[in-house]
Structure 1
Amino acid sequence: MTRPLLHLTPTTGWMNDPNGLTQVDGVHHLFFQHNPDAPTFGVMRWGHATSTDLVHWTEHPTALTSRPGAADAGGCWSGCAVRLADGRTAVLYTGVQPPELGGPQRAAAVRAVASDASLVAWQVDDEPVIADWPTLDPPLTDWRDHAVLPLGGDGGDGDGGQGLLQVVAAGTAGHDGAGRLLAYTSSDPELRAWTYDGVFLDAAAAGLDAHVFECPDVFTADGGELVVVLSWYSKDADAELHHSSGALWLTGRLEQDDDGGARRAGAARFVPQRRGVLDLGSRFYAPQSYTAQDGRRIAFGWLRTQDDPAIVGRSSVGAQSLPRRWSVVGRRLHQTPTAEITDLAGDVVVGELPQPVRALVVRLEVDGGASLVEGSLVLVGPDGHRTSVDLAVFARSTTDVLVDGTWTPEASQVEWAEVYVDTGIVEVFTSDGRAAASSDLALTAVAAVEVTGPVRASVRLLTP
């Protein structure tokens, strides 16, 4: 099997959500949902990989695994990393009981602390830090995944001096608009004591009919804008999960809720003002981000390569996206590949490719008045296999602003796009900060690049 050069994939087995992203002593740590036993979904563990340059990755032994009789006996599911006051790294993750043991409320928040700065060995608490679900109407059927925001701080991964806000995703299967993000707060420096504060964001405020929210990510961008990223889906019994799912970003502000009721007086809730689709492709889901030591906000997302027909018979399934730098420009979330990736590009290739290559970037530009979506891009493999890169998705507006309670589309104009190709995985980044990921794993190398329409293309090879 030919593995990508720039996208992290597991040596064997199944990979999905990125978890516990952090940087310690210059080393980037990427944990991920992992079933090392087979290239299929199963009882989840936390895989672990590290990199000093976001390009070359070293895979380590399983970091977290289920414990018989414990809160995570049915698996160690998605969560986040938090830096403790003394510099140690802790993670909060969702532990799941097997259905026959836990009944309908079988998920809990579990804390583990790394034994040292390598983050290889972990000490897991015997008892969960959140064991009970709140009572909502309709009753929750899903509760999982964790993000932590320091209150009064700079949006990093530690305590900002005014305690911590934990956001947990939830929802009710079969009920349109029942997706929820729930708020918990803590002043405990060890992250063991949490108070439920109410609904942080509901599906109606996000403009979604989602049954369930997943994989929240919450941070404060430069300039103070609050960013909330979430994944969502509707549990339609007649459709596969990814046919009615996606990832969304929202920017807005925190408001103090003093009206009592089901919420604690003074509790914070998120009031969104803008939103946008995080990725216009068919593969990207469950992203998570972290603040690197140089201040950049870096994100990864799960690329669902199991949807690609060419995955059949392979020993590993799933990949992480390229590392993306997230920033807020004009209250919109912008995405670009990190400098570590863009710096791999060599000089522009003049004429045809001298030989088939596995990794390259194609920059597409148009003349004034023309539209990028009027053109086409086709990648041709050495065996003649042809992959079309869908530029038409960028014709539609994917950013909305809330005006008088109604989500109203904002126009967006794409002036150029950069198409990163890596052993059949394609990620497109545009001038307006949007992105789209796809995969055609039958394209293990590119022998030729074809463009039509009012599009000029320049090709650079990517050399890790």
Structure 2
Amino acid sequence: MTEKFRPNLHFSPRAGWMNDPNGMIRVDGVWHLFFQHDPDSTVHGPMHWGHATSTDLVHWQEQPIALYPNDLGTCFSGSAVETEEGAVKLFYTAHSRTSTGEDYQVQCLIHADRALSKYENHAANPVVPNPGLTAFRDPKVIWHEASGKWIMLVTEGQSIGFYGSDDLERWTHLSSFGETHGRHSPGPWECPDMVPLTAPNGEAVWVLIVGLNPGGYAPGSGTQYFVGQFDGTTFTNANPPETELWLDYGRDYYAAQTFFEHGGTATPVAIAWASNWLYAKQTKTAAFRGVMSLPRELRLQDTPDGLRLAARLPLSAEAGFANDALPGTSRTDLMADLAVGEEMAIVLFGEEQPHFIVGRSSKERGSIRTIRQPIAGMDHFGHDYAVDLPWPTNDVLDLTLFIDRGLVELSAAQGLVWITNLFYPASPDSPVSVTTRSADQFEELLNG
């Protein structure tokens, strides 16, 4: 371990820059994670597709670079699918610039072997030309069983476009969603995904996932989602347009994507980039920049606020945290048994100031305040904000902290709320301790 902040159980590249997860697919029992990558720099540059594989979603083996820039441009984000015949296809955005310096983006197809070790450009690329949009990228391809066709989701600036195809080569625009729904900002909606899930009452529901940068729940990058229906042509939001739902309430969970698996899966697994564009190019690592989140299994859950997305780690990922021999890596389970008006502070890394404060504001509601101290050289890194949540009917809020050399993923309320935050403690490889105290003991520290 030569990198002070290289995690044990979260994937990071050997060297160079990494951002969005791409082309996530499981083939013949192997999980394939592709990612936005510049192997020659630790800041964002000409995008390639890096590649890593795993058989348990815990231990990752980095593979040779999969996609390189070509005459159509650099390789922005995309996805992967397996056909009924067993063929594996990758889709990505080729990014270039016009003579006036504006972004120009088109969608391209790659033919891969089943081992995903050989890649051939489709002769007729691009398969989806640019319709005149500056932001037109991040193709996510899924199979829609009910209509018997492939669906591609594409960023269209402030909306997500839906395209349909019978052969993965010829695509027709079907509809667009989003201009009056959810949260918007000066940046485009990007990195879309859509998965079918079963509600607790047995109803089939679709969940649309969209990256937003800037404009997240907390400053900078964020990942929102919508619950609704998709009929093969149009996505219909089940909530009022102004409803805002968030896959993660932390600062460092962006561009989440799920793995494609032939035949579908009842439990989609998602991974996100654990960083934030406000300071991603300034993070405190040397040979590499960029870390992926832990994998999360997605499910729907009824709440007092309506149907909401919840998540938990796959059993294999949870097992990885049972190994006490990994320095700086731990799992801690807590129970916040609070009366109305009480608070509990959580302090990590042997430090003095709290990192989280859990409070109960009423019989039905509570909050988790997340606090991060500023770091010199990292713009906009410090924060202090709260996440509202429904308080469990049994009066006790469950909390689980997965900590990996400074990267903290906090789960609460049976996975209804996640908060993913990077920290850069003085000794990330030392044993991690969690101290819980009443919050009023820390007021002098917080206000001093």
Partners of 1:304 and 1:83 lie apart in 2 by 29
> Is the 8 Å Cα contact of residues 168 and 183 (structure 1) preserved in structure 2?
yes
Partners of 1:165 and 1:270 lie apart in 2 by 15
- Does 2:323 correspond to 1:343? no
> Is the 8 Å Cα contact of residues 321 and 329 (structure 2) preserved in structure 1?
no
Partner residue, 1:418? 400
Q: For this pair of structures, how many residues does the alignment match?
A: 392
* 2:270 aligned to which of 299, 303, 314: 299
Are residues 254 and 147 of structure 1, via their aligned partners in 2, closer, same or farther at CA, if it must alter by over 3 Å? same
| Shift, 1:233, TM fit | 2.5
Partner residue, 2:258? 289
| Shift, 1:410, TM fit | 9.5
> Is the 8 Å Cα contact of residues 104 and 130 (structure 2) preserved in structure 1?
no
Partner of 1:127, secondary structure, is coil
Partners of 2:172 and 2:69 lie apart in 1 by 26
> Is the 8 Å Cα contact of residues 21 and 28 (structure 1) preserved in structure 2?
yes
Q: Deviation string for 1:220-271 (max 9, x for gaps)?
A: 1134101100001359xxxx9x944311011111368xxxxxxxxxx42433
> Is the 8 Å Cα contact of residues 16 and 318 (structure 1) preserved in structure 2?
yes
- Does 2:441 correspond to 1:441? no
Are residues 392 and 440 of structure 1, via their aligned partners in 2, closer, same or farther at CA, if it must alter by over 3 Å? same
Partner residue, 1:352? none
Give the percent of matched residue pairs that are identical in Structure 1 and Structure 2: 26
Q: Which amino acid in 2 is paired with 1:61?
A: P
- In the TM superposition, 1:22-37 aligns within 5 A as 22-37=25-40
* 1:250 aligned to which of 220, 226, 238: 226
Partner of 2:181, secondary structure, is helix
Partner of 2:175, secondary structure, is strand
| Shift, 1:280, TM fit | 1.1
Q: Which amino acid in 2 is paired with 1:37?
A: D
> Is the 8 Å Cα contact of residues 325 and 335 (structure 1) preserved in structure 2?
yes
- In the TM superposition, 1:200-215 aligns within 5 A as 201-209=177-185, 211-215=187-191
- Does 2:405 correspond to 1:428? no
Partners of 2:151 and 2:326 lie apart in 1 by 50
Q: Which amino acid in 1 is paired with 2:275?
A: R
- Does 2:320 correspond to 1:322? no
Partner residue, 1:375? 344
> Is the 8 Å Cα contact of residues 19 and 35 (structure 2) preserved in structure 1?
yes
> TM-score, normalised on structure 1?
0.76
> Is the 8 Å Cα contact of residues 154 and 160 (structure 2) preserved in structure 1?
yes
- In the TM superposition, 1:352-431 aligns within 5 A as 357-367=327-337, 369=339, 374-381=343-350, 388-391=354-357, 395=367, 412-413=390-391, 415-431=397-413
> Is the 8 Å Cα contact of residues 356 and 446 (structure 1) preserved in structure 2?
no
Partner residue, 1:259? none
Partner of 2:259, secondary structure, is strand
Q: Which amino acid in 2 is paired with 1:277?
A: W
Partners of 1:268 and 1:144 lie apart in 2 by 19
Q: Which amino acid in 2 is paired with 1:299?
A: A
| Shift, 1:344, TM fit | 3.5
Partner of 1:342, secondary structure, is helix
Coordinate RMSD, CA, aligned: 3.2
Partner residue, 2:153? 167
> Is the 8 Å Cα contact of residues 308 and 439 (structure 1) preserved in structure 2?
no
Q: Which amino acid in 1 is paired with 2:42?
A: P
Partner of 1:395, secondary structure, is strand
| Shift, 1:340, TM fit | 1.0
Are residues 309 and 202 of structure 1, via their aligned partners in 2, closer, same or farther at CA, if it must alter by over 3 Å? closer
* 2:47 aligned to which of 40, 44, 47: 44
Q: Which amino acid in 1 is paired with 2:175?
A: G
| Shift, 1:103, TM fit | 6.1
Partners of 1:309 and 1:147 lie apart in 2 by 26
> Is the 8 Å Cα contact of residues 322 and 331 (structure 2) preserved in structure 1?
no
* 1:453 aligned to which of 435, 438, 442: 438
> Is the 8 Å Cα contact of residues 349 and 428 (structure 2) preserved in structure 1?
no
| Shift, 1:275, TM fit | 4.7
| Shift, 1:198, TM fit | 3.0
Partners of 2:336 and 2:237 lie apart in 1 by 38
> TM-score, normalised on structure 2?
0.79
Are residues 11 and 90 of structure 1, via their aligned partners in 2, closer, same or farther at CA, if it must alter by over 3 Å? same
- Does 2:173 correspond to 1:196? yes
Partner of 1:343, secondary structure, is helix
Are residues 214 and 247 of structure 1, via their aligned partners in 2, closer, same or farther at CA, if it must alter by over 3 Å? same
Partner of 1:340, secondary structure, is helix
> Is the 8 Å Cα contact of residues 111 and 125 (structure 1) preserved in structure 2?
yes
Unaligned residue ranges in structure 2 (runs of 5+): 360-365, 370-386, 440-448
